[in-house]
């Protein structure tokens, strides 16, 4: 990496002025005197909102999460709220935080800046999961909400998720408008600090009870729970925010046999028992699976630090615990909701589910079979929430999910919600047990009745300023010079969400894509296999999604066909030069 240019040095020196506190000035002075690469990484850009909001490494600098970048984001958001709702006297917002290092401090800074701008602030008295923040925005009639969290990122990260008055994360035009406001804020002199205590109200656990009572109404098979209330379940928050709320919710639904993982019940931003607090990764389940084996648990569940994403493991016919991926979780939950609505005669033709464009196509097949519309949106749960808002009067939302372990059911939360998802997954297990099946067998049955879909994700990490350039060049290379075929299969269509066009290579026709512009590229092969590539909005990665499918007439052939499809996906990765 080249030495930082004059602009970077000038930026850094501004942070050594009297407008910044003593500890910040001292840390920046050390950066200026230290390795040029470290200074450049801290100051070469401003953090921006991506698909998951503001997220980055903690530390001093414009490209780091700290008191001043949090303050800038809050000041810009405050300016936008005041501008958007001039008749509110005063407008209100709600703030929550997760278990990460400095999250409580950043939440306090956020509340301070809002109150200093004459905005009423509701603040939770301790850490809370993200879905409760989304619920609170609408329940309290707030104009916006802020969740201090870096989701499942490593312990060195923190972040700032912004919600609008519909309870969903910011979408266009609000996200761009807030960014524009934030860019106008000088980090040294443009942030209003000065806590106005009279505008700050603390929310205690009585608010948790409102949320639990609300999501209880979404239960679809209370009789199944009553019959199998002692279904053995293991749950771990992996040191995160759901440590109290989720077990309380499971018990409120009626489940009575819940085992915890004592070592992981302590909220801790260091995540001492795991390499990564990510329920997508099998290693995060090690301790929970030990307890599950000891007690013969039929379902093992885990959530990420801010409690919006879930992971789960179930027993196969041999008694071995198998981790379900995000697409499989979405499949089971979507099927369960659709089947229950059908059995109870509640489907009337105006229902819909939502998935992202990188989530299994099996959800489209399921929805079609039940006469329910399935809508595709860009990656990011905020786009699912946007559909919920746009269609809340004309259609009925059932559920929505994404391959990255996010799912929600019902309209109380306009974001992914691991609490309701875990409760409903447990309920689905109880219902399946009444049909003489495990969740594993239920999933294989879905594949047999519809089609076996297998998907994989490959992430290529490119850190820093040079990494960002390499990611741009990588996707542009595929965009400008796409392959003609992959694994012996012709590419039939190319969808370029950046240009907003889909090209049919057989017919030579170009069709518009009715979604917002985004730096996403998809290759659709002649057999229906799908390859998607997109830079991450929250991490220094470019992600490649691969999916293919095959009929599964005999459930006993599941493992054989699954491995065959995985080999096909591996060949595709190799041909694209990714392995």
Residue 560, token pair as written in the block: 């054989």
Among residues 115, 151, 334, 549, the one annotated as catalytic is: 151
User: What count of other Cβ atoms lies within 10 Å of the Cβ of residue 575?
Assistant: 14
- Strand partners for 202: 123
Residue 427 to residue 49: CA distance in whole angstroms: 36
Q: In what order do the strands lie in the sheet with 406-409?
A: 373-377, 351-356, 396-402, 406-409
Closest CA to 190 of 281, 104, 76, 22: 76
Closest CA to 538 of 452, 459, 475: 459
Peptide bond into 90 cis (omega under 30): yes
Closest CA to 302 of 289, 293, 315: 289
Which residue has 């085992």 as its token pair?
A: 259
Residue 354 to residue 330: CA distance in whole angstroms: 11
Closest CA to 169 of 4, 51, 306: 51
Closest CA to 494 of 542, 526, 456: 526
Residue 150 to residue 159: CA distance in whole angstroms: 5
Parallel, antiparallel or unpaired: strands 489-496 and 485-486: antiparallel
Give the 3-state DSSP-derived string for 185-244, with helices as H, strands as E and coil as C.
Answer: CCCCCCCCCCCCHHHEEEECCHHHHHHHHHHHCCCCCHHHHHHCCCCCEEEECCCCHHHC
- Residue 292 half-sphere exposure, CB side, CA atoms within 13 Å? 25
Residue 382 to residue 188: CA distance in whole angstroms: 31
Q: Is 151 annotated in the active site?
A: yes
Q: Which residues contact 156 (CB under 8 A, 6 or more apart)?
A: 57, 58
Which residue has 């850009």 as its token pair?
A: 45
If DSSP codes are grouped into helix, strand and coil, which group holds residue 425?
A: helix
Catalytic residue positions, numbered? 151
């Amino acid at each position: 990496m080249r030495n930082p240019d004059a602009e970077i040095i000038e930026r850094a020196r501004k942070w050594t002025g009297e407008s910044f506190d003593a500890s910040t000035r001292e840390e920046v002075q050390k950066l200026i005197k230290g390795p040029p690469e470290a200074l450049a990484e801290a100051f070469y850009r401003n953090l921006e909102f991506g698909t998951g909001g503001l997220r980055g490494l903690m530390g001093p600098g414009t490209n780091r999460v700290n008191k001043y970048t949090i303050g800038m984001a809050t000041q810009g958001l405050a300016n936008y709220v005041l501008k958007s709702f001039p008749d509110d006297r005063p407008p209100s917002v709600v703030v929550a935080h997760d278990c990460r290092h400095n999250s409580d401090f950043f939440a306090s800074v956020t509340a301070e800046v809002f109150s200093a701008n004459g905005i009423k602030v509701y603040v939770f008295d301790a850490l809370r999961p993200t879905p409760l923040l989304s619920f609170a925005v609408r329940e309290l009639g707030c104009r916006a909400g802020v969740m201090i969290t870096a989701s499942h990122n490593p312990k060195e990260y923190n972040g700032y998720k912004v919600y609008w008055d519909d309870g969903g994360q910011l979408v266009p035009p609000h996200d761009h408008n807030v960014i524009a406001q934030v860019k106008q804020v000088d980090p040294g002199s443009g942030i209003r600090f000065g806590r106005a205590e009279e505008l700050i109200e603390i929310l205690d656990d009585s608010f948790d009870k409102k949320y639990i009572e609300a999501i209880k109404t979404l239960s679809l098979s209370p009789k199944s729970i009553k019959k199998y209330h002692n279904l053995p379940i293991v749950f771990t928050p992996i040191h995160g925010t759901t440590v109290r709320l989720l077990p309380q919710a499971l018990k409120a639904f009626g489940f009575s046999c819940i085992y915890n993982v004592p070592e992981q019940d302590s909220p801790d931003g260091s995540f001492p028992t795991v390499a990564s607090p990510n329920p997508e990764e099998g290693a995060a389940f090690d301790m929970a699976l030990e307890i599950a084996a000891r007690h013969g648990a039929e379902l093992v569940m885990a959530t990420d630090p801010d409690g919006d994403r879930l992971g789960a493991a179930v027993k196969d016919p041999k008694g071995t615990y198998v981790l379900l991926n995000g697409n499989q979780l979405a499949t089971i939950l979507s099927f369960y909701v659709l089947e229950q609505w059908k059995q109870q005669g509640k489907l009337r033709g105006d229902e819909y589910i939502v998935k992202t464009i990188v989530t299994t196509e099996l959800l489209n097949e399921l929805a079609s079979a039940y006469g329910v519309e399935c809508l595709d949106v860009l990656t990011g749960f905020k786009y699912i929430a946007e559909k919920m808002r746009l269609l809340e009067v004309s259609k009925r939302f059932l559920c929505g999910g994404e391959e990255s372990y996010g799912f929600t059911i019902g309209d109380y939360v306009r974001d992914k919600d691991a609490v309701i998802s875990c409760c409903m997954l447990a309920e689905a297990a109880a219902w399946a047990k009444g049909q003489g099946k495990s969740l594993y067998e239920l999933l294989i049955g879905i594949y047999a009745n519809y089609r076996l879909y297998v998907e994989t994700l490959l992430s290529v990490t490119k850190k820093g300023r040079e990494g960002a350039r390499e990611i741009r060049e990588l996707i542009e290379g595929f965009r400008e010079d796409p392959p003609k075929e992959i694994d012996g299969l012709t590419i039939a269509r190319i969808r370029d969400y950046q240009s907003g066009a889909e090209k049919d290579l057989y017919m030579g026709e170009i069709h518009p894509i009715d979604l917002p512009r985004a730096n996403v590229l998809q290759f659709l092969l002649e057999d229906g296999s799908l390859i998607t590539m997109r830079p991450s909005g929250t991490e220094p990665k470019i992600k490649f999604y691969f999916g293919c499918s095959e009929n599964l007439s005999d459930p006993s052939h599941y493992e054989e066909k699954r491995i065959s499809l995985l080999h096909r996906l591996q060949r595709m990765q190799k041909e694209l030069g990714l392995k």
